[in-house]
Structure 1
């Protein structure tokens, strides 16, 4: 364990320094290959047999390795992390986003939180196990994949559809976004475990109209029509749905803080969560946010087409209704096309959950684990296609003042060095005994 702790910061820094930006352009070459080769070298260096696979496009590098466990009859645990990151503008940052700089007790850079910290922790533990000749309780499959930031269609989804044998025997998985601590009151710390996540619908909207001179009268302006449709969507509030994982989370918070959760007023309970309320609040209802709008090519020309992109997220069981609601709100003039990924949900029970609880308790006595629903999505959506039960558990003990959820895709993304070292110790205990 000590050797794993000793090298995790260097691993995280090296991974962050490799620019694996994913713009979402499926026609462009992937940028994950160099990071995948680095991971493969780190695993091969201690004796792993490594599978390197490019998934559907040049540069989309993925690495998978397996460590046999003591009981081959038990289902394998898949530990997966993605190598790609979202873009970053260096002009906005305190440090260069691809420096991997260690400063003021943090490792800085794009991917520090999402999610090269977990990749580094997994690498550190995997290397330590192999070096020491440790046999875990069950088979462990380590997977480092590409394209998660664009839905995993050229990463985990491609691997599941084309190379499922790499994951033979896997029954459960851990990855992002969970295992991080939140301080709910003085001395009251909980670690959130993702047991559910909303579905995704990335929409491409289009309105066609009649082009013409900007100085004339126009009754068929596609820019105006699309703007009105987007305004209707922005003003719409989807119905509140109190799902099982959200209910369980809010009741748990109530028990820990001494403020009982009133199921008739869930939004009041969420408002008391501080910075966490942005994410948890989004799991009370479906959401649809416009993210891009494109139209026109000259100030005095009404164009014939206007387009927009919308990030839609729906609760489990709401997929069909969400699609119908969008069509009704946007209206008949708006053409809709989309990519979608389904919601994922499991229960907060079983031997793996017990092992998570024990691993956290060994490093942070008195803390409690709480299940929750993620408002975003992960590669769990792809691995669920293989019947794998998915949890978000990338353990980090965080200080109360750190607004951790704001660092996902944010400026000055960084992870505390102490949290990385804590996470390695917890992950080591978990993977040894789970």
Structure 2
């Protein structure tokens, strides 16, 4: 049996030219440090950055950091930092190999190397995809940033710290954390642009690696899959310069907030809704959840009746078309985005994705029926079993508090002050809770129609 070779710099030239990296690996200087080596970064910012270098030039190759796990780092190192992005469009697979990473580090075993890179004046942009949990005082990622910037302060070399995580005002939030440690004077040489990122990138599995091997004719143990759609909206505030991301399709703007709010409440909010309702109903993936009887109509109602009235979308964007496009993206069966994966860290995600919508509708005097159904589904999910009685895992940083809480609405780490005192809201939640308990998700959706 012939052994298939591994993707590497020695084998990449065997690929079709259309599949090879858009830049020659190793021939571009490093100007970006990225914290977080997960699938999203590799299928989103890395793709846009490689295209920006190919079209606009500049020394903007990426030094990437794996904060703790070596699961992605090791195969990348074995492949000379090359990997493929598989764009999945129905049954069609379009592979491309990326070569934009010039270096990869492991923060847990060599934090000094990361801090030295942060202090290097040649690094002019630092990007982050480290999930919501890292944006807390005392986190390991924040510690790395603070130590690196403290060393950098002597030279005062300008740098932009760019959060690419799904948090409202992510740049402002990062600025508050950093200045709390280093003082306001850090803003003399550091900027904190806010961003909005959007691409569905499911976790890689053995099936992903098998598709990559079939597409490339080479083994790729670092392959990632993604949907065709990709969007990056960036506040244009880069004191040390930036790649020509605009030439690669990114939107550079002075105000990210309308884009950010739209994406968090519509795309991410509906994503979480499908995850909790789908997991309770036994749907393993997001597309299967959306295909459940009555689910699409419920999600359309959530967008139309509850979310849209709380938004002022960017100029020229139609809420109706945007909502339709979100549901079409979620219906892509090739992504196989697991409901349980999307359902993780609910206490960190729901305040941005759902609770703001509920609060704004209550302020307007309305009781948002669809949004409260989603919240009731999360509360059922937390109890740890699906409609058929099968167990559901609870992967959440507040898992112990959730299990011990006599009333979830009383958790001040999740719900804003006064949320639990709203009698109308509680009545609606109780009604949905009883329906989910008695009739399950399918019966509740049937009654909703």
More strand by share: 1
TM-score, normalised to structure 2's length?
Answer: 0.25
TM-score w.r.t. the length of structure 1 is: 0.26
* Structure number with higher helix proportion: 2
